[in-house]
Amino acid sequence: MKSRQKMASYLVTVGLVMSFCFALAGQAAATTDPSNTLQGYGIKIFRVESGLYPFVQIYLRSFDQNMNPLVNLNERNLGLMVTGRGYDPGKGQYRIHSIRNRNEMIRTVIVLDTSATMKGVPFETALNAAARFINNKRSQDQVAIVALSDNENGFELVSNFERDPGVLGRRLADLHANGMKTRLYDGIAYAMQLAAGAGAGGTSSSDADYVASTSIVVFSDGKDEGSAISRTDLMTRITNIKTPVPIYSLAYTKIKPEYLKNMQALSKNSFGKYYHIDQAYGEMTRSVEDIQYILQNDYVITFRAYLPIDGEEHLLKVGIEYPSGSGKLRYETTSFETMEPPVFPKIMEAQKQLDQYLPMLPDANPYLSNPFTSELLKVKGAEN
């Protein structure tokens, strides 16, 4: 089973090189709550792919104190450390690019409150905003729709992940605000299951089929009525999920605003963003446009590694210096596996193209040289 998963990872990453080369031609997992950082910004690493080793790709989302993306990041903003040693940016062994001009897919699950309390202007505005979100997505991006309903599950899958805006629009138009109660937490838990399901991380060699990130957009007043899962349990699931799924909450109501704080808590815990609409329904469309902007401003870092192939996990730290030149990097930690890819024609061609953009250094040394630690490196070499 494990070897099959590794093989799928290899096939997935073959397609990624085409996006990488296209982006180059055009020009580059712990997280930190921005409220607790000195600079007021942070990053969230979604995944690391090493199926084309020695080339490794890191997918991440950046955010400032308002949970907006850090724009126009380049190699000068980036610090990279592999097994404790920093990469020298002057040696040209890594690149960073926005996801916007690449072919990897962005997935979104829209969760709509269809209770009768939403009937009228609130619900119609939510439908229009959801339609705007769908119409503004890129052609390769997919959207799923979940309606909170009165059935035994408390939710209905209106549409599984779909690219066609016309199909999504017709399914959206079939929804009506006639539910008697809202099992909000059950619906969001189901959306998280969708996000973690088939295709999360990709099972195809096509870059258009590769999922770079999945997020949830919730339209609701935040009032939960009888969910099988509690808010505390849902928060625990959000905290423990392996691949991050940010929740973007559009919190609106025409009845009691005190429940809106539930939406705020879900967004904060998942590193999403909270939009306090209340009764300012005109802000909904503007808010979904902001969400699209955030999703399409994720980043992909590609670097060439020089570690021997041993099949083990190796520590990787990614640092962002913002603004460039401040001298203060906020590092986040993840890891990658060093494996020899199988000798398939597609894989060999992908590696060949990446090798042209990140050529191997003659001395196989991409690292910075610190005179105060050079002796320590000699000691390590002697021990090995």
Q: So what's the pLDDT on residue 293?
A: 95
Buried b (16+ CB within 10 A) or exposed e, 293-307: ebbbbbbbbbbbbbe
Q: Which residue has the higher pLDDT, 179 or 53?
A: 53
Residue with the bigger pLDDT between 166 and 371: it is: 166
Rounded CA-CA distance 316/6 in Å is 20
Report in angstroms the alpha-carbon separations of 191 from 75, 186, 194.
Answer: 35, 9, 5
Chain centroid to CA 150: how far? 31
Tell me the pLDDT tens digit for each residue of 104-150: 899 999 999 998 888 888 899 999 999 999 999 999 999 999 999 88
**Can you tell me the mean pLDDT for 337-343?**
93
Instruction: Provide the pLDDT for residue 371.
Output: 86
Q: Is residue 241 pLDDT above 80, yes or no?
A: yes
Say if residues 283 and 291 touch (Cβ distance below 8 Å).
no
Q: pLDDT by residue (tens digit) across 349-369?
A: 989 999 999 999 999 999 998
Average pLDDT over residues 61-74: 90
- pLDDT of 379 reads 54
Q: Which domains does the chain have, with CATH numbers?
A: 2-99+298-383 (no CATH), 105-295 (3.40.50.410)
Among 101-105, 149-153, 157-161, 373-377, the range of highest mean pLDDT: 157-161
For 40, the token pair is: 């007021």
Using pLDDT thresholds of 50, 70 and 90, give the confidence band for residue 2: very low
Summary mean pLDDT of the chain:
84
Asked whether the beta carbons of 203 and 8 are under 8 A apart, the reply is yes
pLDDT band per the 50, 70, 90 thresholds, residue 309: very high
State the pLDDT at residue 313. Answer: 96
Q: What is the pLDDT of residue 381?
A: 53
| pTM of this prediction exceeds 0.85 | no
For residue 243, how many other CB atoms are within 10 A of its CB? 16
- The rounded percent of the chain whose pLDDT value lies above 70 is 84
At 4-50, the pLDDT tens digits run: 455 444 444 444 444 544 444 444 333 344 434 445 788 999 889 99
